[in-house]
Structure 1
Amino acid sequence: MNSPDNQPGDAARSVREGGSGAVDLTGCLMGDYQLLRRLGRGGMADVYVAQQKSLGRQVAIKVLRSDLANDANYVERFRREARAVAKLSHANIVQVYEIGQHQSHYFIVQEFVDGLNLREKLERQGTLSVPEAVKVLAGVTDALDAAHEAGVTHRDIKPENIMLSRRDEVKVADFGLARVLGGEPLKDLTQVGLTMGTPRYMSPEQVQGKPVDTRSDLYSLGVTMFHLLCGRPPFEADDPLAMAVKHLHERPPDLAQARSGNDLPAWLVTTIHRLLEKDPAHRPQTPHELADEIRSGITQQSPSLAGSAATSLSAAMRLQSVMERQKMRGKHRRIKTAALWLLPLVGLLAGGAWAARRPAATVDTLLAADGVEVERLPTAAAQYLEAARLDRPQAWRAVWTFHPPEHSETNADYAVKAKLQLARLYGRRDQHLSAIDSLGDFVDDGEVPLLYRMLGQALMLESYEHSGQTKAAGRLRTELQKNYQQLSDTNPTHLELFHRKAPHLIVQRLRPS
């Protein structure tokens, strides 16, 4: 293996042949990245774990196959799609950091997830439990929702492309087949021996070569969930063509009967079968719609809450949390709550859409929250979920206090979202000076993504106006207007998110007349 001090030109001399005759770049130095070991091979790229020398962190690097790297059109598509995926910053999506070229090698640098993909988990540990399956379903749904809002379809959802980290985080990987909606149609890649997607998990419209959208990803998610719960996919065949025919014409087996045991809640069976509908019009139309079904199903699953039509998801989570804690105390008092198996739902709350629609806290829930000391949970995501349940200032502060943002990008992401939620809480209480104070170091932080920074500026501007600080409001309004124009010019998708999540009156004044 090359030493970290090797010059970039030494990379070519360190290349050796693997057992299958494929080039193995282990030990090469590609600019800032020392390739440590090969993690796996795919149809388009080899994946390595590498050390980024400048930042002292481990990353994953996908190196485009050499035969594809000689096709200028393919390289351009590779770059264009990688740039599109790099815009997807979300806790349930493997983050793309950089697109690069070293000598004849084209590569993508992305987040390294230390853990197993779900294919490996299935092979080593067997089928998923119901709580594990719900966690995966909700986490992938949240990832697809973020991609859908950015106009990106994944096109290859399958167990191998869903990671479960050692910290129990669900991460969707490999948007290498992603297609940017509204962009140039991709050419048929079968000419270079590739398949757009994996036949076992492809939607009927995808195997027919028809245009696909997020509903195709939802179908693939349904096939994946069936496989994870039953140990086998709904359709099996000896060759890709026979598999395609089954996706087009055969009904899937009944999920409840295909799984050994009788532990599947009815709502989960119904939801997965809806995902497996042949006609895209009969599936959930968006990941957001699917998220609502998951939310409703979790609420209905608790018998003690079934009689209350007004029961909120937070109440269901609170009940589950209490039940799980009682059970865990009998098992050597392990610190674990049922909130962990609902962990991916935090992304739906983190995005603001669910938080905005969550019913206002009742007197009973506020009193209950006042009597609860904020517990330190294992991850920032779990801490955010607990804060959303309590909706108290000390709970939101705990997100970045217990999980410092400088420790990881995931922590930093949840810290930003928690600070916005804290400011919203103060605003609802008419505690505008507290809201301003909570956002003081936030709105000027250039490290915070522009969309989040603008949301913070909008909340602060609203509080300035309510508290009569006209000069400060004027200065901030000018800055926000400048950022608004920048976002309008560079990212219309994020601009639309800003319109939806910022205070309505502030948005009205910013919109061009």
Structure 2
Amino acid sequence: MSEADQNDQAPELADTAAGTADQTPTSSLSTASLVGSRLAGYLILSRLGRGGMADVYAARDMQLDRDVAIKVLRPELSRDRDYITRFRREAKAAAKLNHPNIVQIYEVGEDSARYYIAQELISGQNLRQWLERNGPLDPEQAVEVLYGVASALDAAASEGITHRDIKPENVMWSKSGAIKVADFGLARVQSDNDGSRADLTQAGLTLGTPRYMSPEQVQGRSVDPRSDLYSLGVMMYHLLTGRPPFEAEDPLALAFAHVNETPQPLDRVRGDKDVPEWLIAIIAKLLRKDPAERFQSAGELLDALTGDDADQRSKTRRLAGAASATARLQRVADEQQRLKTKRQLRALMLTLLPLACVGLGIAAASGIRQPTVAKMLRPDVVPQQETAEEQFWEAIVRNDPAGWKAVSLYFPPTDGSAVNQSYASKAGLQLARLYLKQNRPADAEATLNELIDDAAVDRKYRLVAWALQVSVAQAMEDPEKAAEAKRKLSVLYADLESNNPDAIAWFDRVMPGTEQVSLGLKPGAEEK
């Protein structure tokens, strides 16, 4: 049975196994409904859906007086030892897991030759339904899903369990906002060696849903938790773009694509620039063909998302305000890309720093995207980096007041370090430039005055500060203050020209000639 044939009310509870149910005529799968009957201690209330192995019902636990979901192995399969083994194995795998991001198993049993699993009934919709009704997720929603599913996979891996069928239909988004992973029907426990064909490739196909299977899974090779991470990457790509990375009518063609083809860039398929670079890089890493090139565990992925931020008393992780560790996430997700970007930034720094020149900005000059998901990328508390230089990179990516202020906060220029002093001065200039861009000239003026009045600040940086003060005065429509700033700028420029030509050479590199003309430092074309 194809995914489209499932009852759309609750396909999240249906066990869909490509290569098994799809090969059986629909008519032979018809069974009498159990609605209204009793099954062990449960009253069957309504039918929710049907999958490759089980029919799914909403039921009432008469003893505990609660609503549950009941998965019942279909009668024609209950006579097959291999299906019974696999059905029981699902229960064995899922029952070991007690985690807020995993659908909870309450009971496994048999009643009158009917094998059933009673589990948590989720009020909500699965991600396939969400995608069909609302369109692609926005980046903030995607991070919540990524974090929730990764947490579930981490808990499963700690018990030696691989899910093997991660896909939108098997992930619930409850009405309370919780992410819940369901259907461990294909799960494999590492210690299981029962010899049943439930783990074997049948008719050249492997268990799972081909659209989301890892290259090693479609090839029939052994899988481990890294295979689930590949499927997670495929699912996230689908949820963010509205279509999976690979599509084909024929399952074998789809399998070939997973093994050999490279998906189109996520942001190009999505058609906008809203998805932050680090999230694109993480998904790209999840989609690596070689398991050794992916995250090596769900825990490693969670470390990237949380920045190792764990509650020491409860030992639970917390999702860092949206990837407060943007630089670290990029580093973890794609080290080569990070190094390439850093080399480009270094080259630009040689010519553009202190990034505070009138009309200039590192983001515009380098083409770096400024993420728009403010809550995700700009938490109130800026993460501290290991060095002043890395803190400066963090500020460049954030480009907000908190980021620039954090440079001198975490690496005070007063500690006697020339490196800290230099980066603090550059950060102050960039903060003033940002305030000007935000139409906050009073804040820019106060920031620049601190730099100008600090005797420890290198005079070449104070030269740039006076140049910015001219722009501040012009923004305030104060011609007298602008004239005074120009005069101070000219005096300092002349002094450095006589006593520190290297500083002037540096200033000439970072300050465009047209700006120097407007500031009265260079003659205009008509004056030559």
Residue of structure 1 in register with 2:298 after alignment: 287
Q: How does 1:387-398 map to 2 (within 5 A)?
A: none
For residues 379 and 123 of structure 2, the distance between their equivalents in structure 1, rounded to whole angstroms, comes to 37
Residue of structure 2 in register with 1:86 after alignment: 95
CA deviation after TM superposition for structure 1 residue 214, in Å: 0.3
Q: CA 1:247/1:151 → structure 2, altered by over 3 Å: closer, same or farther?
A: same
1:161 aligns to 2:170 (yes or no): yes
On the 8 A contact 2:91/2:105 being kept in 1, the answer is yes
| SS in structure 2 of the partner of residue 298 of structure 1 | coil
| SS in structure 2 of the partner of residue 98 of structure 1 | strand
On the 8 A contact 1:51/1:57 being kept in 2, the answer is yes
Please give the TM-score of this superposition, normalised by the length of structure 1: 0.55
Q: How does 1:39-50 map to 2 (within 5 A)?
A: 39-50=48-59
Q: Which amino acid aligns with 2:289?
A: K
Per-residue CA deviation, residues 110-151 of structure 1 (Å, 9 max, x unaligned), is 111111000011111111111111000000000000000000
Q: CA 1:195/1:25 → structure 2, altered by over 3 Å: closer, same or farther?
A: farther
Residue of structure 2 in register with 1:198 after alignment: 209
Residue of structure 2 in register with 1:266 after alignment: 277
Structure 2: give runs of 5+ residues left out of the alignment.
1-25, 308-321, 327-376, 388-409, 411-528
Residue of structure 2 in register with 1:276 after alignment: 287
For residues 222 and 130 of structure 2, the distance between their equivalents in structure 1, rounded to whole angstroms, comes to 32
For residues 52 and 181 of structure 1, the distance between their equivalents in structure 2, rounded to whole angstroms, comes to 32
On the 8 A contact 1:18/1:24 being kept in 2, the answer is no
Q: How does 1:33-432 map to 2 (within 5 A)?
A: 33-184=42-193, 187=197, 188=199, 191=202, 196-296=207-307, 298-299=323-324, 300=326, 301-302=377-378, 308-309=384-385
Count residues with an aligned counterpart: 296
On the 8 A contact 1:159/1:224 being kept in 2, the answer is yes
Q: CA 1:289/1:124 → structure 2, altered by over 3 Å: closer, same or farther?
A: same
| SS in structure 2 of the partner of residue 60 of structure 1 | strand
Please give the TM-score of this superposition, normalised by the length of structure 2: 0.53
In angstroms, what is the RMSD of aligned CA positions? 2.5
Q: CA 1:76/1:19 → structure 2, altered by over 3 Å: closer, same or farther?
A: closer
For residues 206 and 77 of structure 1, the distance between their equivalents in structure 2, rounded to whole angstroms, comes to 18
Q: CA 1:24/1:307 → structure 2, altered by over 3 Å: closer, same or farther?
A: closer
Per-residue CA deviation, residues 333-362 of structure 1 (Å, 9 max, x unaligned), is xxxxxxxxxxxxxxxxxxxxxxxxxxxxx9
Q: CA 1:295/1:307 → structure 2, altered by over 3 Å: closer, same or farther?
A: closer
Residue of structure 1 in register with 2:374 after alignment: none
On the 8 A contact 1:140/1:172 being kept in 2, the answer is yes
For residues 265 and 150 of structure 1, the distance between their equivalents in structure 2, rounded to whole angstroms, comes to 33
On the 8 A contact 2:93/2:184 being kept in 1, the answer is no
On the 8 A contact 2:164/2:228 being kept in 1, the answer is yes
For residues 119 and 204 of structure 2, the distance between their equivalents in structure 1, rounded to whole angstroms, comes to 25
Moved more, 201-210 or 288-297: 288-297
For residues 79 and 19 of structure 1, the distance between their equivalents in structure 2, rounded to whole angstroms, comes to 23
**4+ aligned runs moved over 4 Å, structure 1:** 17-20, 188-195, 303-307
Q: Which amino acid aligns with 1:30?
A: L
On the 8 A contact 1:81/1:180 being kept in 2, the answer is no
CA deviation after TM superposition for structure 1 residue 20, in Å: 8.1
Q: Which amino acid aligns with 1:69?
A: S
Q: Which amino acid aligns with 1:227?
A: H
CA deviation after TM superposition for structure 1 residue 282, in Å: 0.2
Q: CA 1:161/1:152 → structure 2, altered by over 3 Å: closer, same or farther?
A: same
Structure 1: give runs of 5+ residues left out of the alignment.
1-16, 312-361, 363-513
CA deviation after TM superposition for structure 1 residue 68, in Å: 1.6
CA deviation after TM superposition for structure 1 residue 189, in Å: 5.5
